[in-house]
Amino acid sequence: MEMSAIYVMWLREVKRFTRSRSRIVGSLSQPLLFLVALGYGLGPVFRKAGQGDYFAFIVPGVISMSILFVSLFNGMQVIWDRQFGFLKETMVAPVSRVAIMGGRALGGATVAMMQGTIVLVITMIAGFRPVSVIGVVLGLLVMLLTALLFNALGIVLASRLRDMQGFQLIVNFLGMPLFFLSGALFPIAQGSAGLRFIARLDPLSYGVDALRIFLLGHGIFGITLDFTVLGGMIVAVFALGAHFFSRMEI
């Protein structure tokens, strides 16, 4: 029963995304803007500074950005379902709320991973070349872990809020610093000591770093630390999300 509930919620989240072509196109606009405006605009400056290909450098960061915002905003579906009664129908089913929350998070993570994969394919069409096919496969695993973490975080936020506008403001307030301070657009190692310290506190930094290791062949923190932090944060945020979701009033 628990597994079937997880599957149903996963399937619902995936179908909801794939049926909306406008949502798919809209969620691609911001990553493509960063790739074109920064990747090509700042590429010559980055190369003259002796840092190599800037377009390739920001590809893992832009993929992570796409996953981050798709994952966080997926929590809005909880508020939407609460307002229109679907959440109540789900909650009274003879399954645990933890299973429902897990199914939602897994479905949202699948959607975010699909989004990140689309961005990766577009960058490869534009000329980006990963170091290996195995690196791409392992990069997909990193995308999934990053998506699970921030989908769970989105659900945590949504379980404490009832207003969609308030949720959007909080997500933007939280998401933009997470993205810009993760080293997605600049090399962390060459930043100030304060910036490096803040980047180490940002969980997205470890997802970006792991993607760089698998897609580009180099990183800052090391793959062991990246996976340790991502795994630990997923467990912690899932536990928090399960607690709030199970106590949520409908």
Per-position pLDDT tens, the chain of length 250: 556 656 666 666 666 666 655 566 666 777 777 777 776 666 666 666 556 678 888 899 999 999 998 888 887 877 777 776 666 666 666 666 677 777 788 888 888 888 899 999 989 988 889 999 999 999 999 999 999 999 999 888 888 877 777 888 888 889 889 999 998 888 887 777 888 899 899 999 999 999 999 999 988 999 999 999 999 999 999 888 877 777 766 6
For residue 15 the two structure tokens come to: 């179908």
Give the count of beta carbons closer than 10 Å to the beta carbon of residue 198: 16
**Tell me, what's the pLDDT at 144?**
94
Cα 87 from Cα 82, distance rounded (Å): 5
Q: Which tokens go with 89?
A: 């129908």
Nearest to 104 by CA among 84, 85, 87: 87
| Cα dihedral 234, 235, 237, 243 in deg (nearest 10) | 150
pLDDT of residue 145: 95
Enclosing domain of residue 31: 2-246
The pLDDT assigned to 92 comes to 61
Amino acid code (one letter) for 91: M
Number of folded domains in the chain? 1
